[in-house]
Amino acid sequence: MKLADIEKEIQLDSVIDNADLDRESLRIPILHAKYYHFFMDELKILKGLEREFRMTKLDRILYYTGKAPDEVYLESPLDLKVLKNEVDIYLDADPKLSQLRMNCEFQQAKVSMLEGFTKLIANRSFIIKNALDFQRFKNGA
C-alpha cells in the first residue's frame, strides 16, 4: 500500500462525528481490525526488506573482502584492494545497500504510522467518552 493511500485512509477514519457518538463507538473494533490488518501487511513487507538487506550486505562484504565467487568479479570487477577496517566505509557508500537501506527506512515509517494510528484507535473510546462527558456538562447534567 502506498504511503499516500495510508495517509488518506487515516485522514478519513480519524474524523469523529460528534452528532453520532454511539455509532462512532461501535466503529472502533472495525477500524482497529482494518488498521491492524494494514499494519501486519506492511510489517511483513518490512521484514522481507530487512532480510533482503542482510543478505545483500553479506554479499557485499564478501565482494569487498575478495571472498565472493569469481563470477561476481567477472560481472563487476573490483579494481582496488579494500582493507578490513575500510569495509564499513565501502558498505555505507554501496549503491545497492543504500537503496535497500532507504527502502527499509521508508517501510519502517509506514509501519510506525500504522502502529501509531492503531494505538490511537484503541484509545478512541476514551476520546468518545470525553466528548460525551463534555456534552453532558454543556447541557447542565
Q: What is the pLDDT of residues 26-49, one digit of tens each?
A: 999 999 999 999 999 999 999 999
What residue numbers bound the domain in which 83 lies?
A: 21-128
Examine residue 87 and state whether it is found in any structural domain, yes or no: yes
Which segments in the chain show pLDDT lower than 50? none
Examine residue 134 and state whether it is found in any structural domain, yes or no: no
Residues for the chain: how many in total? 141
The phi, psi pair for 62, rounded to 5°, reads -60, -40
Examine residue 140 and state whether it is found in any structural domain, yes or no: no
pLDDT at 141: 65
* Count of domains for the chain: 1
pLDDT at 88: 95
Distance of CA 12 to the CA centre of its chain: 20
Q: Estimate the crossing angle of helix 124-138 against helix 21-64, to 10 degrees.
A: 150
Examine residue 61 and state whether it is found in any structural domain, yes or no: yes
Examine residue 10 and state whether it is found in any structural domain, yes or no: no
Examine residue 137 and state whether it is found in any structural domain, yes or no: no
Examine residue 105 and state whether it is found in any structural domain, yes or no: yes
CA distance 114 to 12: 14
